A and B are shown apart, each in its own frame.
Chain A
Amino acid sequence: MELTGRIESSNAAEWNEKITGALPATGDLILECAELSYISSAGIRVIINAYKEMKKHGGTVILKDVAPPVMEVLELTGVSDFVTIS
């Protein structure tokens, strides 16, 4: 699944619904982030929710091609220590 634009308070619920609807039954959730400009804490909550769901089935979240502004927020919030970044 591809994340694009910005994920913030105004559209986080929409993204949460999209991602929740796309969770794989097995394996890992891969989120392509090359076109993601930035995320705020609302976006971080979306990623944490997805991670919690994946963890229940033994999977994880993989974030690919993360841009520096997104990486900074992932690091600040400690999320980068738990999800896979490739």
Chain B
Amino acid sequence: METQRQFSTEKLEAANVIDYISEIIEENGVPMDTAVKINICTDEIVSNILNHSNAEYIDVKLNINQQDATVTISFTDNGTPFNPLTDAATPDITIPLEDREEGGLGVFIVKKMMKNVTYRHQDNCNIFTIGT
């Protein structure tokens, strides 16, 4: 099944997008451990867009393969071009916590948790896609 929804970024919180996605994936029998990973990655991606891109909207396109319960989600925003796969700093997770600077962990978590992560810039939009 495939579904799509556009969110205006005005007054949007990442939790609004998480709630939308989690309701659909729950209805479609996606396993709980996969659902949790999707929620975490959605929080990382949407909060990055809201905090850094100045986008006016985020389009969320969700595809669930009901045969194997895999999920693909693309997040399209019309904000500042930013490729998180190449432009985000890679954190050093061996540094003691008291010496760590903030930032970089979100994209790192998404790359570790998802099987497929792609970015492209098309028609003046950032399109970030994740797949389980």
Contact = CB atoms under 8 A, between A and B. Distances in A.
Nearest to B40: A40
A41 B105 contact: yes
Interface residues of A, number: 28
Contact of B13 (A10, A51, A55, A81): A10
Contacts of A79: 97
Contact of B14 (A10, A48, A52): A10
Contact of A76 (B33, B47, B96, B112): B112
Interface of B is mostly: helix
A57 to B, nearest CB: 12
Nearest to A82: B97
Contacts of B98: 51-52, 55
A9 B97 contact: no
Contacts of A52: 97-98
Given A11-B15, A76-B112, 17 more contacts: A6-B39, A8-B43, A9-B13, A9-B43, A37-B36, A40-B44, A41-B106, A41-B108, A48-B100, A52-B98, A55-B98, A68-B33, A69-B33, A72-B113, A76-B113, A82-B96, A83-B97
